Amino acid sequence: MLFMFPGQGSQKIGMGKDIYDAFQSAKDVFHEVDDAVSFKLSNLIFNGTEDEIKATQNAQPALMAVSIAFVKVLENEFGIDIAQKAKFFAGHSLGEYTALCANHVISLSDTAKILRIRGAAMANAYPTNGVMAAIIGLEADIIEQIVIECSSDKEIVQIANDNSVGQIVVSGHCNAVEKAMKKAYEANAKKVILLDVSGPFHSELMQNAIPEITDALRCIIFHTPVKPIISNVTGKAEINNFHTLLLEQITKRVRWRESILFAESNSISKCIEIGSGKVLIGLVKRISPQMELISVNSVESMENFAKAL
C-alpha cells in the first residue's frame, strides 16, 4: 500500500471537524498543533473564512493537522499503525512533511512549526510579479519545450508540478507564464488556467524562502523512517537526506506523476489518501487507472477503511 497526503489546494473550512468531535485523540492532535504554532489554528480551520484558510502559512499546517488526526485515531482507536501497513509513503509538496510525520520521522509539534514557517516564507519570498498556471491536455515534453522558449535571462517560467498525465503546472514571472499559456493554447492544450495562489511556488523565484526554512530545519530532529518515502524531488523512494530534499523541494518541481509510476513499478496496487479532499485520488486515477483507490477524509470513510484492513 501507498499512503498519500494532500498538498495546498485541498484545504476547506470545516475539514476534520467530524473526527475532532468524535475522538479525543483527534482533539489532542489539533490542540498540540495549536500549541506549536502559538494560536488557535483549529478555530480557524473550523470557523474561519476561506481567505484565512487559503493563506499559505495557515493552509500548510492546517492540512497536515487534519491528516495526522486521522492517522492518530487509526492508531489509538483502531490499533492500526499505518507505518506498519505501508510499503511507501508520499505527499504532495507540503504533504511530504505530513508523510514524514506519519512515518515517525519528525514529531507532530516540529512538523506544525516548520510548516507554519515554510508557509510564511513561501508567501513572502516573491509576493508580486509571480504566478502559476495549470496546463491541461499537453504532454510533459511539449511543455518542457514551451518553458524553455518562454524563459530568458530576466524572466523565467518552469514546470512546478508534474501532477498527472495531461495536467502540468508552470510557475514563474507573470510575463513569462503568460507567454507559456499562449503557446500552450497554440499547441492545442485543452485548457489553461491561471491559479489563485500567493506566489510562484516550486520555481527558482522561491530562493528567498530558503534561508528561513534552512534555519528552521536545523532545529528539527529527523529519525529513520519506518518505511521509505517517495520524494517529490526525485520521484523515488528515499530513507535519508530529508533535510536536503525538503530544501530542494522549494524551488524544484513536484514529480507526482513519476512518484506514482515508481510506486506502480514496485508492485503497489492500492493507494490511500488520508486528509482533506480527494485531489490525489483524482491524479492517481489518471496516472494509473488500474490502482485501487481509497479516500480517508471523514469518520465514516475512516471506519470503513479500518474494517476492511
Angle, CA of 31, 33 and 37, to the nearest 5°: 120
253 touches 262 (CB < 8 A): no
Among all chains, which residue has been given the C-alpha cell 508520499?
90
- In single-letter form, the type of residue at position 202 comes to H
Distances (CA, A) of 20 to 27, 45, 72, 86: 5, 11, 11, 25
Q: Is 231 exposed, middle or buried (0-12, 13-18, 19+ CB in 10 A)?
A: buried
Judged by phi (left if over 0) then psi (alpha if -120 to 50, else beta), residue 275 lies in left
Q: Look at the chain and count its residues.
A: 309
Residue 202 bears catalytic tag: yes
Catalytic residue, from 198, 202, 231, 276: name it.
202
Q: Are 237 and 225 in contact (CB under 8 A)?
A: no
User: Which residue in 93, 203, 259, 288 is the catalytic one?
Assistant: 93
Catalytic positions, written as ranges: 93, 202
